[in-house]
Amino acid sequence: MLFNTLRSLLAMAMAVIVLPAAAQVSGPNGPQLNIAHRGASAYAPEHTFFAYDLAIEMDVDMLECDVLLSADEVPVCIHDTTVDRTSDASGAVSDYTLAELRQMDFGSWFNTQNPTQADPAYAGAKIVPFEEQLDCYLRINPLMRFHVETKDSAGGRAEAVLTELLTRKGLIDTGGGRVADSSVLIQSFDPASLERIKALAPTLPTVYLYGAPTNLRNLSIQTSGTGDAYMDAFSPNNANILADPSVIDRFHANGHDVHTYTVNDRQTMDTLLGYGIDGIFTNNPDILRAAIDDLGTGTTPEQRGNPSDFERGCPGVAGRVVSNQGPGDTWAPAPSGRGVVLVQAAGEPPTPPGDAPDAGDQAADTGGGAISLLTLVGLIGLLFLGHRGRSRPL
């Protein structure tokens, strides 16, 4: 009864509330980030290696991934809780094992709905386990970063499985646990999901997603520029920010980075970048790359670390995960700066302590990308590792 009364009062208040007008913005907290929403999903089927590869080619800062659990508790990259929209099958993701999901075609729908972007190669595209996404693109670029959204929490199991996976892979404490530097950020519209993540992995940075401030929690966050202790950064939708640009400064004043979703046109990108947004999710990372580069407010190519050329399709990694225990690679935070280093490739002995190259050195080896095949061969000889090639598909 009390909650319903408060909700009614809030609805009436929102009709007359005038949020603070736009003030002179102080600028972003750091370089403005290009976040590929489900990969370069305007041009290739979302959450497939095709879309992720294309995003790397478009020189993004981060890959965004929505994570759900299969019936056998393997985290997979898919937005909807069902496979209906993006595959040739139907039903809940959670009702299928990974092996069953791998039998589905996650590419043909895109060709049908996007004839101008269609490609025969997309037909038969496979679902991507989250662990394979990590291993594929960290092998290509150890400086790559991942914006991971928890969806259905599966009664709290999703957060537990996700943090167990990231712990096993050595990816919990990268970048000193800072939003601006961590290799992995966890985002969610569900505050309880972020609270569970923080309880399981206190150093893993979190980002709270929300739309219009139409409930008491979101209104308080919007007006105060801060939220619960388990929320490290915030991501209001872009319409929210356009209606109340000074919210960015309020978040910044409280030490929070601000990202926003999902912006696909150049004019809106330019406006939000001018307001001092820290990162933008987009289906069109090529357009956002140009917008940020024209302003000169983004990361440098060296800081992004994306290679100019790499092997597409994720050979050696695509298809190898069979359970929530991998098999997969193990990583560790880079000795200096952000990024990671490969500690142990799946099925291989670990790299001797102190012998692993720094992430920055790895990027430099390919002129701003991941370790090239030739460089890996050299490392194999030096380190006596049976290392597999680091090339990744696009």
**What is the tens place of the pLDDT at every residue in 79-109?**
999 999 999 999 999 999 999 999 999 999 9
Lowest model confidence (mean pLDDT) among 40-49, 100-109, 311-320, 355-364 = 355-364
- 353: buried, middle or exposed (CB in 10 Å: 19+, 13-18, 0-12)? exposed
State yes or no: is 37 an active-site residue.
yes
The CB-side HSE value for 114 (13 A sphere, CA atoms) comes to 18
- For 343, other C-beta atoms within 10 Å of its C-beta total 15
pLDDT at 349 over 50: yes
Residue-level pLDDT at 363: 55
Residue-level pLDDT at 386: 35
DSSP label of 358: P
Give the separation between CA 94 and CA 161, rounded to whole angstroms. 14
pLDDT at 24 over 70: no
Active-site choice (47, 79, 147, 259): 79
Active-site choice (37, 147, 252, 256): 37
The better pLDDT of the pair 110, 383 is held by 110
Tell me the percentage of the chain whose pLDDT exceeds 90: 77
Determine the angle formed by the axes of helices 216-224 and 2-16, rounding to 10 degrees. Answer: 40
pLDDT at 393 over 80: no
Arithmetic mean of pLDDT, 20-25: 46
Residue-level pLDDT at 361: 60
The better pLDDT of the pair 287, 5 is held by 287
Arithmetic mean of pLDDT, 26-35: 93
Q: What is the pLDDT of residues 252-277, one digit of tens each?
A: 999 999 999 999 999 999 999 999 99
Mean confidence (pLDDT) of the chain? 87
CB 261, CB 41: distance < 8 Å: no
CA-to-CA separations, 21 to 18, 122, 242, in angstroms, rounded: 8, 46, 11
Residue-level pLDDT at 336: 80
Residue-level pLDDT at 27: 87
Prior bond of 285 cis (ω within 30°):
no
pLDDT at 324 over 90: yes
In sequence order, the 6+-apart residues with CB closer than 8 A to the CB of 27 are: 276
The better pLDDT of the pair 7, 167 is held by 167
Most confident of 7-16, 57-66, 363-372: 57-66
Residue-level pLDDT at 275: 97
Q: What is the pLDDT of residues 165-191, one digit of tens each?
A: 999 999 999 999 999 999 999 999 999
Residue-level pLDDT at 359: 65
State yes or no: is 47 an active-site residue.
no
CA-to-CA separations, 224 to 219, 227, 252, 257, in angstroms, rounded: 8, 8, 11, 14
pLDDT at 12 over 60: no
The token pair that represents 65 in the structure block: 């991934």
Tell me the percentage of the chain whose pLDDT exceeds 70: 82
The token pair that represents 31 in the structure block: 């370089």
* pTM, 2 dp: 0.85
DSSP label of 326: B
Q: What is the pLDDT of residues 214-249, one digit of tens each?
A: 899 999 999 999 999 999 999 999 999 999 999 999
CB 234, CB 278: distance < 8 Å: no
* Residue 212: band (very low, low, confident or very high) from pLDDT cuts 50, 70, 90: confident
Residue-level pLDDT at 214: 86
Residue-level pLDDT at 360: 63
pLDDT at 380 over 70: no
As a whole number of Å, the CA-based R_g of the chain is: 21
Arithmetic mean of pLDDT, 40-64: 98
